[in-house]
Structure 1
């Protein structure tokens, strides 16, 4: 199976869906944040290994504890994945913290700040021109 084949894409999507369900409803570890989402999954073509990118809403401490909880529950997650999806091999799962959502939110806040600062800097210029035009009439 090639890396970008249709079958591999379908397997990635199905593993991502099942992993999200297991993390959301099957794990009872208090270290795992309820705001954990599976952003992407990449299963190797030989179905032996899998990288799962995880995003957690919260501070650095919440992210670290969630990653530790997921690593300790890896055997349970793998067993549930094997029970749910009928694959030739059940892949070993490696969890990777994905920071792209947090990065996007941070950049959005910075853009909003720049726009607000830009509007503030242009506001006095407009008021000065309007006062000058009123005085000319």
Structure 2
């Protein structure tokens, strides 16, 4: 029976806490907006850690440009962040970091809009009958 709270999930939570502090206090890139780390998934062999983030960026840019730019900045800084993680963690292996934009909020808004649209069309249909 698998454990509910495995080593990889504990390690993922630790990586999430440490990376959030590093990104906020140690990264000096002015193009970087307010980054929120939503989830860290660590591979069972500790080879990779997929980090999912959202971002609130600068004004005057489209959301897509902000996402792509932030993902590029974070993936370029992955080596530095990994070396800093290795100093603070006591594990023998520090996973490679891969940053991905988390699209769950946008999907949720899209589905909510579809549900509202369907309910509105149902109520319009019932009023016509």
TM-score (norm 2): 0.74
Matches within 5 A, 1:3-82: 6-34=6-34, 36-57=35-56, 59-82=63-86
Q: Is the 8 A contact 1:42 1:52 kept in 2?
A: yes
Greater helix fraction, Structure 1 or Structure 2: 1
Matches within 5 A, 1:80-91: 80-91=84-95
Any stretches of 5+ residues in structure 2 without a counterpart? 58-62
Q: How many equivalent pairs are there?
A: 122
**Structure 1 residue 77, shift from structure 2 partner:** 0.9
Q: C-alpha distance in 2, partners of 1:120/1:20? A: 47
* Deviates further, 60-69 or 25-34: 25-34
TM-score (norm 1): 0.70
Q: C-alpha distance in 2, partners of 1:39/1:119? A: 37
Q: C-alpha distance in 2, partners of 1:74/1:118? A: 49
Q: Is the 8 A contact 1:32 1:67 kept in 2?
A: no
Any stretches of 5+ residues in structure 1 without a counterpart? 126-137
Q: Is the 8 A contact 1:43 1:49 kept in 2?
A: yes
Q: Is the 8 A contact 2:82 2:96 kept in 1?
A: yes
